[in-house]
Structure 1
Amino acid sequence: MSGIIKTIKSFPKVFWVSNTMELFERWAWYGFYMAFALYLVGSKDTGALGFSSAEKGTIMGTGSMLLYLLPLFTGAIADRVGYKKILILSYAMYVSGYWMVATFNSFTMVFAAYIYLAVAGALFKPIISAMISKTSTAETASIGFGIFYMMINIGGFIGPFIAGAIYQKSWDWVFYISMITISINYIFVFFFFKEPGREDNKDSEPLGQVFLQSLRNIVITLSNFKYVLFLLIMVAFWTAFNQLYYAFPVFVDDWVDTSNLYNALHAVWPWLAESIGTPEGTITAVTIGSFDAFFIIIFQIWISGIVMRYKPLNAMMSGIFVLAIGVGMMFAFQNSFFVILGVLIFSIGEMASSPKFTEYVGSIAPADKKALYMGTSFLPIAVGHQLAGVVSGDIYDKAAGKLYLLKQEVAKRGLEIPEVSDTFTKNDYWNKAAEMMGMNNSELTNFIWVNYNPSKIWMLYAGIAVSAVVALFIYDKFILKSKA
């Protein structure tokens, strides 16, 4: 313990400044991002946009793909221009981007605004990782990146936790809080952030040459067939993992009765239940989703201590399989206790597999190409986001979309209800259908659940994760020819 404390004290001030900026950036990002799917598809009379699941998948998938693809180039730009200048630009784009997403209401403009936000994130993302690396040594890097990962999850919990408590009162405040939170980072970047040293030839190198060199680096790295095959397999993992943000909030909001969770919490901590719950006595989907980060904060060290004894590939296979069980439970039940248990199991799988992914890439990279390999390790995350958008779009809608399934029942009964429009919202359609069928909201939800089985979507998402496990096993035994 004394050694850990000594190591923590050895980090320079800029290390802590960088980590604090990461915390506030993640707070701002996840406070908006965990609720974003609901904001895109929610009924217009709640202040949401009323888009289709396909439109939601296109916006989130494409923008998030760019968020993870562009750092292959933006990191090189930051090295050339300077970290402080790029951070200032990134924060300005974040603030204006959150404002634009909150203000625009057409598909095209919201799509453009989210891509703009993704560029802001892509400018920020490689800088803080680089700062942790630059302020750590070979002996302190493990603890340094452990602290960094902890900051990510603290921000990833606080942001959605707050957003979950306020979005039903006002969607605008979800974005305002993100704007305020990211603006706090101006204090750190102007008054406490110290620019790291850069090579003398950085400023003289043409920007076009920087891009070309980045492309050459990608080509060099992807010439390794075994590595490319591994990255392709991991696309399946990230596709399943990202349903935590793409489909899970929508599924919970549509189908899961969270009143029993609220009541259980209220029996123990009434003040907490009333603070984070809704006036109707429920817990929002966004708040439930935030517990993934909360569980990681609590259990990451323990889980890391268990999986450190196993080879990275074996740990990844076990972790992804556990994650598959969790994601299956998250989409299989209406009972919120089973759903929150699913989130816990999901987070255990994430803790066992996600850090091992990074460790494995670092372990197989040639000594002189570690940075190149670590950069291209973002590629399956980027593609996984794009595919996550696809399988949470029309595919999700036809299997589990609440309004889509209701429309099938309306057509079967021959009922005449106006189509959803600016003046006749999704909620209006649902309420009209319930009235014509002689049911209340809860009764109609349960009727559609029993007769159309939207929970079957769990098989797709869990199956994608299991396919990654099977592919990794084949890869390990037959491509790498492991005997362990």
Structure 2
Amino acid sequence: MTSFPKSFWTANVTELFERAAYYSMASFVVIYLGQLGLGDYLPSTLNGVLWTLVYFLPVLSGTIADQIGFKKSLIIAFVLLFSGYFMMSFPVFIQGKTLSPNIEKEITSGIDTVIPILIAILLIGIGGSFVKPCISGTVQKTSSGRATLAFAIFYMVINIGSLTGRGVAYLVRTRSSLTYIFVVASICAIVALLIVLFFYNDPEKELNLQTTNRPQKSIKEILLNMILVLKNVRFALFLLVTSGFFFLYAQVYNVLPLYLKKVLETNPPVDLYTMANPLVIVFFQLIITRLFGGLKPIVSIIVGIVIISLSMAINIIPLFLEGGVYRDFLSIMPLGSLFIVMTVALIAFGELFASARTYEYIGALAPKGQEGLFLGYANLPMAIGALLGGPVGAFIFNEIMCKNATKLDNGLLRLDNRSATLGWVILMLIGFASAISMYLYNRWITRHRAE
């Protein structure tokens, strides 16, 4: 492993701090915005827009990074990210706004609060969209013919960064206030910027590689390529079918935090609970790959979608047990929170089955000679799922799960069991519909190829 060049390791350390920055605040975005007075729907919608920007814009930012160089692109990215994390805290630290202990239904904040948040979302989304193509591109170029090992290290670093960010954010916010998660994110972004400035070099420069004189693409050409890809009916249908999986994945940062904050606990440690996701990936990635790597991509994807669908349904169980969701579990957490942690863990298992194999399936689906072009759009289902998952997830939670709920003295909502069950069943059925659609789509594609 020591034979990997310096830029490989500096890229991975940079990625660690970038992921630490993002995940130090990701689990609390909808809660923070809700407590800031943005109501029931705007926090989820804005969070969905943020994830959409991060996963859609690499189509453009990756091309720009190729043209101006990875180092310059990363410097721009971390300046934008630092600015974005700072702007998220602007209403509290600069304007003197206070966070409400509860999330109220109506919007109580004015435009002076909304504008800094909108700017923050744009800055974080644009900045974040530059990082992944630059870091993964560096890993690819410096892998020295050992791409499998290189990307295994890269994937492990991502999850270590995720764990680190959540853990540090928990320690800081429990000793200060929720807004300080953005201080953690800002500091991590600054550290990443300093690493890039003083230690990172473009891989071509470090390895004395000849840069290919490929023609630079204009924005017009990028948009034309996008039209070319989306005009492919088979691929457009695939994007829609698989977006159901990512719609449910998006609820880890939408419905689940809202359920924890508004139903289960007045001050839930969402950052600790969502650690179940990277922990499962770190400990079970190799095992799942070894045991089930031989499955056909389509089978693996469908298994992943079914798992994530069932992860929603298990939250029905504590509703009907003695003591309900508030029943104490080992003096650690309410029983309902335990099932949310289990949901997050199961979603990670679903991710292990579905996410990586999606790239393989797209590669086989793309027309010959256009595999690279089509793989560049592999993250579009995540963008679609996040964009819809924000507002639709908020609707399912607020209008279905919380229907006929009663407010307790501590501000929490005691849900009507039938309404709560219906909400979780709807989420499960969205996943099942995606799995069935994926199966039918694959049969149609197989028949189409045979003809």
- TM-score of Structure 1 vs Structure 2, range by shorter chain: 0.7 to 0.9
Aligned twin of 1:437: none
- Structure 1 length-normalised TM: 0.78
Identity %: 28
2:235 aligns with one of 204, 227, 247:
227
Letter in 2 for 1:217: N
Deviations 1:419-472 (A, max 9, x none): xxxxxxxxxxx6xxx5xxxxx438x74xx3246743432112222111111001
Match of 2:330 in 1: none
CA displacement at 1:101 relative to structure 2: 0.7
- The Cα offsets for residues 262-301 of structure 1, whole Å up to 9 and x where unpaired, read as xxxxxxxxxxxxxxxxxx9x86123101211111111111
Gaps of 5+ in 2: 92-96, 98-112, 205-209, 319-324, 326-334
1:381 Cα deviation after fit: 1.3
Residues 1:340 and 2:341 aligned together = yes
Q: Contact 1:296/1:347 (CA < 8 Å) preserved in 2?
A: yes
Alpha-carbon shift at residue 27 of structure 1 (Å): 0.5
C-alpha displacement at 1:330, in angstroms?
A: 4.7
Please tell me whether Structure 1 or Structure 2 has the larger radius of gyration of its CA atoms: 1
Residue by residue over 1:235-275, the C-alpha shift from the partner in whole angstroms, topping out at 9 and shown as x without a partner, is: 11111111001111111122236xxxxxxxxxxxxxxxxxx
Structure 1 counterpart of 2:283 = 298
Aligned mate of 1:183, from 190, 204, 211:
190
Write the mapping of 1:274-423 to structure 2, written as runs, cut at 5 A: 284-330=269-315, 333=318, 334=325, 335=335, 336-366=337-367, 368-401=369-402
Q: For the structure 1 residues 165 and 400, does the alpha-carbon distance in structure 2 shift closer, same or farther, using more than 3 Å as the test?
A: farther
Give the counterpart of 2:122 among 107, 115, 122. 115
Alignment partner for residue 154 of structure 2, among 114, 132, 148? 148
Identify the match of residue 422 of structure 2 among 435, 448, 456: 456
Q: Could you say which residue in structure 2 is the equivalent of 1:133? A: 140
In structure 1, C-alpha distance between the alignment counterparts of 2:156 and 2:361, rounded to whole Å: 20
Query: Deviation at 1:160?
Result: 2.0
Question: C-alpha separation between the residues in 2 aligned to 1:325 and 1:134?
Answer: 39
Q: Does 1:27 align with 2:10?
A: no
1:11-90 pair list within 5 angstroms: 11-42=4-35, 49-90=36-77
What's the TM-score once normalised by structure 2's chain length?
A: 0.83
Residues 88 and 313 of structure 1, relative CA distance in 2, 3 Å threshold: same
Q: Distance in 1 between matches of 2:439 and 2:186?
A: 44
Contact 1:361 1:373 in 2 (8 A): yes
Q: Unaligned stretches of 5+ in structure 1?
A: 1-7, 43-48, 258-279, 410-429, 435-439
Where 2:433 maps in the other structure, the secondary structure is helix
SS of alignment partner, residue 153 of structure 2 = helix
- CA change 1:214–1:224 in 2 (3 A) is same
SS at match of 2:201: coil
Which residue number in structure 2 is paired with residue 267 of structure 1?
A: none
Note the C-alpha offset of 1:191.
2.2
SS of equivalent to 2:295: coil
How far has the Cα of 1:388 moved from its partner? 0.6
Change (3 A) 1:201 1:161: same
Distance 2:2 2:363 in 1: 26
**Amino acid of the residue matched to residue 185 of structure 1?**
A
- Once the two structures are TM-superposed, the CA of residue 327 in structure 1 deviates from its matched residue by 2.7
Whether 1:217 aligns to 2:217 is: no
Mapped partners of 2:66, 2:187: distance in 1: 28
SS at match of 1:194: coil
For residues 35 and 381 of structure 1, the distance between their equivalents in structure 2, rounded to whole angstroms, comes to 20
